[in-house]
Structure 1
C-alpha cells in the first residue's frame, strides 16, 4: 500500500513538472511570436510610409520624431500621471547619472533610428535585413575596442565569415544604392555602440530599465537630439510641400502605437526568456521578411543575394550557438558554486553540532 502511494506521488510530481515545463515552453513561443509579429509590422509599416513608390512620405526624421513624441507622452502618462510603473529607485536616477549614462545612449538611439528609417527610402526590405546581419560583427568589434569583450581569433574568424556573406549579398543586390547602404551601416554601428554602452553605463551600475521607464528617460532625449537635424534638413522641405503639417492621423497613430507595443514585446521576450532567444528569433524574422519582400512587395531577390545571406546566416547561427554554450557553462558553474557553498555550510554545521555534543556530554 505504501509502495502504491509512493508511486502515485512520484507520478503526480512528474506530471506537475511536465505541465510546468510545457506551460513555460508555450509562453516562450507566445512571446517570440508576438515580438516577431510586431517587429515585422513596424518594419513593413515604416517601409510603406517612407518608400517613394508607396505612401511617399519621405521624411524619416519627422517619422522618428512622431514616434518619440508619442512614446514620451505615453510613458510620462504611465509613470507620472497614472503611476502604473515605478522609475528605478536603486540607484536613483539623479541628474549627473542621467547626463553621464542616459544622454549618450539616447543620442546613439536617435541616430540609429534616423539612419535606419532613412535607409527604407533607398533599399528593399530584404536587403536591409541582410545588412542587419552585421549587428553581431559591430557589437563584437566595438566591445573589443572599448575593452568590454576579449579578443579571440575564433570569434574574429566568425565575424569575418558573417561580413563575407553580407558582402556577397551586397554584390548580388539588384537595387544596390550606395547612399542607402551607407545609411544602414551607420545605423548598425550606432545601434551596436548603444547596446555596448547600455551594458557599460547602466547594467554595470545596477540600473535595470523596463521598456516604459526606458522610453520615459530615453525618448525625450531622442526627441531633443533630433530637433536640430530636423530643423535643418526636413523642416524647409515640409514647409515647401503641399500639406506639410497634416499627416494622416490613422496611419501615423497606428504606426506609433505599433512602435510602442514593440518596446513592450522586447521587454516581455528578454525578461521572460533571454536576449539570446531574441537573437535566434531575429534570424527567423529576417527570413520571413525576406520571403515577404520577395513574394508580396515584389522586391528582387537574386540567387547571389540568397547565397551571401546564407553564408552570413550560418555565421550568425554559429555566433548564437557559441553564446548559448557560454550561457550553459556559466549556469553550470553557478550551480556548482552553489552546491559547493551548500556542502561547505552543511560540513560547518555538522562540525559545530559535533563540537557542541562533546561539550554537553556528561561522560566526557
Structure 2
C-alpha cells in the first residue's frame, strides 16, 4: 500500500547526463463485521465500565513468523532517461563483488533484520489502526493524526541532527507537491476501506495495484507491457474477483475505497515522471519521504477540520462513550508503526533491487493478511482463501515478469 512504501519514487536528482529512473510505490488493510472482540490488556489499567465502547488489545510477542504479508505494489516502471529532475527510488545491487566475507555476512544479517522490522511494523500498524477505526469512524482525522506523528518524528530527527537536514528549494517543493497530494489520497482511501471491511479483504483488493500501474504507464507514459506482464495480471484480477464474491465483510464503500487507493498510489509513478523541475542537489529516499510526510499533514489538516470537525478531544471521546486512554494509545502506536514501516521500506530499497523489494512486498501482504485473520478471527471460506491465494500468486508472477525485457526490434 497501504501500499504504499508508499508507491511514489523516493528521490530527486539532476544529473548532467540522462539518468535511469526507477520508481516504486506502496499501499494498506481491514477487518470484518463478524470479528470477535478480545479482552482488554490489563497493563492499560482501563476501568471495566459496561457503558463504554472498548477496543480489543494486541498481545505483543517478541517473535514474528514472516511467512505472509501486507500492502503491495507492483515493481517500478521501466527506466527512462531525461535531463530534468525526477522523483525516483534509488536502489543498489544485492551483492557487491569483492566484499570481505565478514562484511557480507553482516550485511545479510542487517538486511534480514530490516525485512523482519518491515513486516512487524506493518502488522502492528494494520491491527492497531483497525481497532481504532472500528470504534472511531473518522478516517480523515485518523489519517491526519498519522501524518502529524510522522511530522513530529521527522522534525525531531532534524533538530537533533539524527538525520541530515535537507536544503529545500522552491523548485523542489513544487516537484514534490503532486506526490504529496496523491500520498494523502492513497492513505486516506486505505483508512476509509479499513474502516468498512476486513483487513484481509482490503489487502486482497490492493493486490490489484499492478493492474493500475500497467494501465497508467501505458496511457500516460506510452510504456507498453510485455505479454508476460499482461499474462500475470489475469490471475490477479480473477483472484480478487473470486475473493470479493465470497467475502463475508463485503460492502461497496470499502471495495471502492480500496480501489481508489490503488489508483492514487500507482499514479505517483506517473507524476514522478511528469512533474519535474531543475535543481542543484539531490534528495535521498528517506529525506524525500520525510518532506512528503510534512507536506501531507499541512495539506490534509484543514480538510479534516472542515469535513469532520475537531473530534479527537478527550471531551468528545468521553461523550461518545469511548475509552480515551485506549483510543489515544492505539492511535499513537498505529501512527508510529505507519511512519516506521515506510522508513524501513526505503532503507531496504537502498540495499536491494526494485524487483527484490517488490517480491518482499508480496510476502509482506501475505504476512498481514494471515496475521489479521488470526488476530481478529476473521471467518474465511475455502473459496475466499483460494481467490486470495490466486491473486497473491499473480502479484508474485508480475514481479518476476517485469524482469523479462522485450527483445529489441531489428531493422
Q: TM-score of the superposition, structure 2-length normalised?
A: 0.66
1:28 pairs with 2:118: no
Point out where structure 1 has 5 or more consecutive residues left out of the alignment.
1-14, 330-364
More helix by share: 1
- Name the residue aligned to 1:37: 120
Deviations 1:19-66 (A, max 9, x none): 444443333222211111111111111111112xxxx12221111111
- Name the residue aligned to 1:256: 335
1:223 pairs with 2:297: yes
1:181 pairs with 2:255: yes
CA distance in 2 between counterparts of 1:237 and 1:31 reads: 36
Contact 2:126–2:334 at 8 Å: present in 1 too? Answer: no
Contact 2:229–2:401 at 8 Å: present in 1 too? Answer: no
Among 92, 97, 100, which residue is 2:172 paired with? 97
1:50 pairs with 2:129: no
Residue range with higher mean Cα deviation, 63-72 or 215-224: 215-224
SS of the residue 1:146 aligns to: helix
Among 126, 131, 138, which residue is 2:212 paired with? 138
Deviation of the 1:120 alpha carbon = 1.2
SS of the residue 1:287 aligns to: helix
Contact 1:36–1:282 at 8 Å: present in 2 too? Answer: no
Deviation of the 1:102 alpha carbon = 0.9
1:276 pairs with 2:363: no
SS of the residue 1:301 aligns to: coil
Contact 2:311–2:317 at 8 Å: present in 1 too? Answer: no
- Name the residue aligned to 2:307: 233
Deviations 1:7-29 (A, max 9, x none): xxxxxxxx985544444333322
Larger RCO: 1 or 2 (CA < 8 Å, sep 6+): 2
- Name the residue aligned to 1:344: none
- Name the residue aligned to 2:28: none
Pair member with larger Rg: 1
- Name the residue aligned to 1:82: 160
Contact 1:88–1:209 at 8 Å: present in 2 too? Answer: no
Deviations 1:217-273 (A, max 9, x none): 212321232134312321176689454896654333333222222232112211122
Deviations 1:138-173 (A, max 9, x none): 112111122162343442232233112211111111
Q: 1:73 to 1:267 in 2, by over 3 A?
A: same
- Name the residue aligned to 2:65: none
Q: 1:294 to 1:151 in 2, by over 3 A?
A: closer
Q: 1:69 to 1:192 in 2, by over 3 A?
A: same
SS of the residue 2:350 aligns to: helix
CA distance in 1 between counterparts of 2:277 and 2:364 reads: 27
Q: 1:63 to 1:242 in 2, by over 3 A?
A: closer
CA distance in 2 between counterparts of 1:67 and 1:188 reads: 19
Deviations 1:264-322 (A, max 9, x none): 21122111223323321222222222222332211121212122122222221111112
CA distance in 2 between counterparts of 1:267 and 1:302 reads: 36
Aligned runs of 1:291-330 on 2, under 5 Å?
Answer: 291-325=370-404
Among 160, 182, 185, which residue is 1:111 paired with? 185
1:147 pairs with 2:221: yes
Contact 1:116–1:184 at 8 Å: present in 2 too? Answer: yes
CA distance in 1 between counterparts of 2:368 and 2:342 reads: 19
- Name the residue aligned to 1:126: 200
Contact 2:128–2:333 at 8 Å: present in 1 too? Answer: no
1:163 pairs with 2:237: yes
